[in-house]
Chains A and B, each alone.
Chain A
Amino acid sequence: MAKITVNGRVIEAPDGAVLLEVLKENGFYVSSLCYIPGLKPYAGCRTCLVDVEGPPGLQLSCTTTVQDGMVVRTDTEEIRAARKAVTSIILANHSDRCLTCHRREHCHPGDICLRDDVVTHRCLTCSKNYRCELQATCEKVEMAGYEPWVGEERSWYATAHPEADRANPFLEFDPQMCIICTRCQRACNEIRHTGAITLSGKGWDTRIAFGAGGPIHESNCDFCGACIDVCPTAALMEHPNKWVAKPDRWTTTTCDSCAIGCSIRLGTKEGRGVIVRPGVGNPVSGNQICVRGRFHYASLKPRERLGRHLVRRGTILAPSNYADAVAEAARHLRQARERGRVAVLVGGTATNEEALLARIVAREAFGTEATTALAPVLRAVAGALEARFGTARMAGNLEALAKAKTVVVVHDDIEESHNIASLRVKDAAVAGARLVVIGALRSELCDFAAAWVRPAPNEEGWAAARLAELLLGGADEAAFADALAALRGADPESTMVLVAPNPVSPGKAAAMAAGAANLAIALCGERASEHLVVLPPEANAHGLLDLGLAANEPDWEGLAGLLVFRDDPTLTVPAAATALRPECAVVVIDGLLHETAKAASVVIAEGRAYAAEGTYTAADFRVQRLAPAVRPEGEAVRGFEALRALAEALGVSVPATPEEALLQIAAERPDYMPAADLIVGEGIRLDVSRAPKAAVVPLAEPPAAAAGTLRLISSRDLYTALDAAALRHPEAEKLHRYDRVRLAPADMARLAVREGDVVEVTDGRLTVTAPVAADERVPEGAVYLSSLMAGGIAAAFFAASPMPTVRIGAPVTA
């Protein structure tokens, strides 16, 4: 530690630390508009000037490092003057009316501007007004009302700025507001390893550009929004809600979009979400989230969610009050129980506490075990792991990922399915880790990999198993040469194996888990379970696993009643549709009027996961807390409350609050006990012990595929919103990349189909019709359908055949 004196006060700081960060941590104000904590200084804004005794002149605090005995001043007249002068230069190239207009606090959006400013330069026409870092900085350095360049014919006003890019549903870029601090460029490059943003031009014409300078959606931008988080002006903004995103409340909670459990801060206005920012303190996600985490809170408009409880009156679902709906639901289910079997189904975004209540209701009221539509895949994966490890709970820790020296990923594409895990894999690779990627799709990770093993479509698991065999047997095989070179001699302690089992095909998922398990054992021996992380489909899949909901698969045949909690099973299990007969009393507790809800006798409206209080168990058995961030729409209630009320109506005693429910879970599984004290955001890893055994079990041969046709690949895509997909919403995938039949360009040429042609994809019985899109990720001889496309049609193909093949018909329309 070094001792430095700042404005006469002695403070301690680590030797060599960045002075700017030390000053800010110790409460000294230093303006800085380009620095990003943790990254190398860019030193572009030149406003973080301080006076360091010794060298002549002022120094930038972002490029100065702490040395013992340093004497620093942050408040001299010289600093103030220089800072003001520098800031004035920034403002001269920026629409500065939000600072300089004397009426800026009096005007309303409809007012005519008394200063006769061009409308786009007005303070009220900037959607970042009053939440702008530049504005705040200027006020802090006493620049408000300061107009050094008044009367200048500022080139900025004379320059034709490129049009703002508002062509995509997520990210807006207005070059006119840009001060070229390049934070976005560095966040994109150095934090996200995406490199979609560049600095183009030079001199006065220096600009931020996406890709080669075209629209954002034509670059390789993944819309993660890391650039928005760091932008100090209104140059980069979220498209949804940008005008109203001045929240009255911020709530840190957990994202419900995948099993990584990233922390998000959800800003709400009058109970509705208007903006999402990354949470803090989460050791896996850090301060990063993906496009789903940031934007899927707004995947549906409020009015598209269910705000009223519904009870069937003949052929129509009529609005009802809450008490009647619950009573009616209980009546239907009780009658069904008298008639026969009642199944209870819980969705993958239900909290542990909600799942517990559903399980109690299932046992006490219906004498059955609650289950989930994910059960086929979860059971298949669990089976594969249990055969090798004697347990399905792997002890691998995602926190170790970014620092791993060797990483193996067995996946369809975790860049799409579990984006932040992919980011941490990239972190590791950029830091020098040897990365081996096993997957038929050409994922972004391939660009970071020392070796990419590309098996035949859907044979990832077998390829991983083969690689394990070669590693253990010391043999070589040409297709695995690079992978073997990268993996031989790897230090088991710093090795991580990641597997993201396929969400559509239980058979493929089992093989992937089994292959990855064998590979982990080959690399890490008996401690393999501590180096293996399974990334399951959906946010709380591992919570459902821990609560036993994955132990049984639902039997859809001959059901007398069905209680569904926050799920549309038809989206993942084609057979679920067979249960939706008039003879079957269906009760749905959900916030969406999806296919299952439409067939229900009673629909109890509830808020989604963002309204829930409770916990999720993430991929690496990390328990994350959910805090109620949004208010359920209209008359809808929280899911937990709906289940509790239904239990009461059924005469079943259940915990009254989520806290009590968690304590009950902890009583049953003591490792959940610490979660009771959990702080929102940070998460706590369950104490998963090392697996009792680690034994390689060979895989059976992969199922044969029909020759001469295209193999079907399906996985979770990055962009489709789960809730909107359940509604078969045309904008479920707002970019319209994954509501298409995706083909390798070479296959498109061979089949004589062009981009946008509408074609039929059929296996002879099932058919889906959609436009074609070229996709360089897809291998030749395969066709890719998103798992959520067209009401989950892909699952139906996989249900019909373990290795489905399809034909592409001639274009339906030109």
Chain B
Amino acid sequence: MNAALQSLITRARESYEAWLTNGRPKVNVCIDTSSLARGADETLRIIRETVAREGIDADIGIIGSWGFCWMEPTVTVRTAGGTRTILYGNVTPDRAEEFVRRVLVDGEEVPELAIAVVEGVSNEGIVPLGEHPFMQGQVRRLMANCGIIDPENIDHYLARGGYEGFANALERTPEEIIKEVLDSGLGGRGGGGFPTGRKWDFLRTATAEPKYLVCNADEGDPGAWVNRILMESDPQLVIEGMLIAARATGAREGYIYIRYEYPLAFQRMKVAVAQAYERGLLGTNICGSGLDFDLIVFRGAGSYVCGEETGLMSSIDGYRGMPRIKPPFPAQAGLWNKPTNVNNVESYANAPLILRHGAAWWSSVSDAKDKGTKMFTLSGAIKQMGCIEIPFGYPVRRLLEQYGGGMRDGSVLKGFQPGGPLSGILPASEIDLPVALDPYRERGMFLGSGGIIFFDQHTSVVDLCTYFVGFAEDESCGRCTTCHGGTQRAVEILRRMAAGGGRDSDLDKLEELTRTLVWSNCLHGQFALTTVKLALRYFRDEFETVIREKRDPAGVLSGLIRYEIANQADPLLPEAADICPTDAIVETHEGWTIVDELCVRCGACREVAPGAVRVVERFAQPAAEPTAAAAR
């Protein structure tokens, strides 16, 4: 192994070991965007203050995400002797002080908050992590460090096998590296699935100089946060992957393009890149190998289409974030019109694993057609929103039932959406489809970058289409008539439909639009109406109900429903009236009533007073309403 790198790793191991064996208990709080949303920073502050006040001798640190996003903030507690590490969840700020007293002062376990035992054996019968239902069947390779290391400390990464893949890459020729990646069968993790090795070879064989690498971390699909988990929990893995790609392709400069909405990932990557520079892992003559590679962390400005690789490059180039016309392709003319390779975060993150353990090991995880493991984030009307890493081939049902914990109480699966707003929706009947690329392609959609959203009977398909097409409309770059104008037409029709103005001709118009939008320049326009296309295929009857009967089976389309008082005696009614943003709930001499002209169906009253307000069909024959007097 490269001597400089060897000594870096050795020193890092020594310091990591020394820290692990310093005889102090360790409390690590997961600080990532999910946990911050539930007050993890406050939890961490309270733990730190308590420890300081009580004079407890303990190391308080931070970790990345374990994937148990629905139980954030998560905290690991390692005993002083290092014999046992327990993962706790829901350590919210209000529980933090008591929690830290119990685990550090009293030396107890806290079974009611415990998720699983990471290391050692529990005294309280807490399950080992591997036996936790959420973890069974997961293969954590990319996520091997997630939740375990301090993402802001490069030594942790180096000590746990980090940069060994890069060390191997340094001993091979670019051709050999690319062959290894090709042999592994790694496909682009952004959703395209194009062989990463071939992409790298395009750049390697490009003649113009300089060449650039770009890491696409503009993870804009609602419901997808796998890249964020990696960048916030193990940023060095991405850097190592890009270094291997640099070695393989001859690129000397790289960019990590992080979406504006990921401030923590941006900051973590900045810290990681700075530490890598400090250790000589970036810059000129890296570890004496003669390899030069500069890495710049670039923050996007909040445009969804900048996740399209050419839009992303326009953005870095300083232009308006608009996807370009292809050809030329990025490998011919990308950043500053020079050869460029763009890969997803997860694609780069796989490279260190392949180079460290070999292609055979990497692809042997399952015998599915798509090789390697894939991270997924699950959300929607399910019990457990979290991040998993599994081999391809598991049926979606398993993702829902085992990892997602099933639908929420009272919810029945109606359908699911893999692949973000440009992909499509599938009905519950397709729940046994495997997670793999082909089945989705066959259905005119794509599996996407890892987000899967499950929706229930309370979701109106018309509403869902309106939302996703509206999203595509808002995020269109403005180039193609078909995209910026076509999505607008579709939204107009869908909104009219939702408002009760549906016409028989609407479905034909929507279908004509789905046909017309394929003439758009980039994937954004071409796939902007996929949701509508698949909805018309799988949920056509629902559209027809909305159009012909002016009735919404999901009971949410504002134009088709009406709110009315269900129970005049409900004590929460005044509160519901208070929260109503339009003051539609008024008390008259005949009792409480909802003024329909004012009501915007926001649902706030139903949240405050679920028993007091009910939804009725707006165009149904008015039922004989109990008069206020009778109710009294």
Q: B-contacting residues of A (Cβ < 8 Å)?
A: 40-47, 49, 57-58, 60, 63, 82, 85-86, 89-90, 92-93, 148-149, 152-155, 179-180, 182, 198-199, 201-204, 206
Contacts and interface: CB of A to CB of B under 8 A. Distances in A.
Contact of A153 (B478, B485, B486, B496): B496
Given A49-B519, A57-B518, A203-B474, A89 B489 contact: yes
A57 B526 CA distance: 13
B484 A58 contact: no
Given A199-B320, A202-B303, A204-B484, A85 B516 contact: yes
B168 interface: no
A46 B519 contact: yes
B325 A41 contact: yes
The main secondary structure of chain B at its interface with chain A is: helix
A78 to B, nearest CB: 10
Contacts of B515: 82, 85
Residue among B476, B477, B484 with max Cβ neighbours from chain A (10 Å): B484
A58 B516 CA distance: 11
Contacts of B516: 82, 85-86, 89
B512 A92 contact: no
A86 B492 contact: no
Contact of B481 (A148, A152, A154, A179): A179
B475 interface: yes
Given A63-B325, A153-B492, A204-B488, A85 B476 contact: no
Nearest to B506: A152
Interface string B500-519: 00000000010010011011
Nearest to B322: A199
Interface string B458-489: 00000000000000011111111110111111
Contact of A204 (B305, B473, B521): B473
Interface in B60-105: none
A199 B480 CA distance: 13
B492 A152 contact: yes
B512 A44 contact: no
Interface in B383-423: none
Nearest 8 pairs of A and B residues by beta carbon: A206-B478, A89-B485, A85-B516, A203-B474, A203-B476, A44-B479, A46-B519, A46-B482
Contacts of B493: 152
A152 B489 contact: yes
6 contacts: A41-B325, A42-B325, A42-B479, A57-B519, A206-B477, A206-B478
B532 to A, nearest CB: 15
Contacts of A44: 479-481
B481 A47 contact: yes
Contacts of A155: 488, 491-492
B567 interface: no
A148 B476 CA distance: 23
A90 B485 contact: yes
A31 to B, nearest CB: 12
Interface string B575-602: 0000000000000000000000000000
A199 B482 contact: no
Given A86-B481, A86-B519, 4 more contacts: A46-B520, A201-B478, A204-B474, A204-B476
B485 A93 contact: yes
Given A86-B516, A93-B485, A204-B484, A180 B478 contact: yes
Contacts of A58: 519
A113 to B, nearest CB: 24
Contact of B485 (A49, A63, A92): A92
A165 B149 CA distance: 59
Contacts of A93: 485, 488
Contact of A89 (B475, B482, B521): B482
Contacts of B474: 202-204
A46 B496 CA distance: 27
A63 B480 CA distance: 13
A154 B476 CA distance: 18
A204 B487 CA distance: 9
A110 B553 CA distance: 52
Nearest to B475: A203
Nearest to A42: B479
B480 A154 contact: no
Contacts of B487: 203-204
A153 B518 CA distance: 24
B489 A203 contact: no
Given A82-B516, A85-B512, A202 B481 contact: no
A89 to B, nearest CB: 4
Nearest to B303: A202
A44 B479 CA distance: 5
A257 B23 CA distance: 89
A232 to B, nearest CB: 12
A51 B518 CA distance: 14
B80 to A, nearest CB: 55
A180 B484 contact: yes
A86 to B, nearest CB: 6
Contacts of A179: 481
Contacts of A57: 518-519
Contacts of A201: 478
A148 B515 CA distance: 15
B475 A43 contact: no
A82 B517 CA distance: 10
Nearest to B516: A85
B484 A206 contact: yes
A44 B485 CA distance: 11
B503 to A, nearest CB: 8
A179 B481 CA distance: 8
A776 to B, nearest CB: 24
Nearest to B486: A89
A154 to B, nearest CB: 7
Given A82-B519, A206-B484, A149 B478 contact: no
A385 to B, nearest CB: 43
Contacts of B492: 152-155
A180 B476 CA distance: 13
A627 B482 CA distance: 46
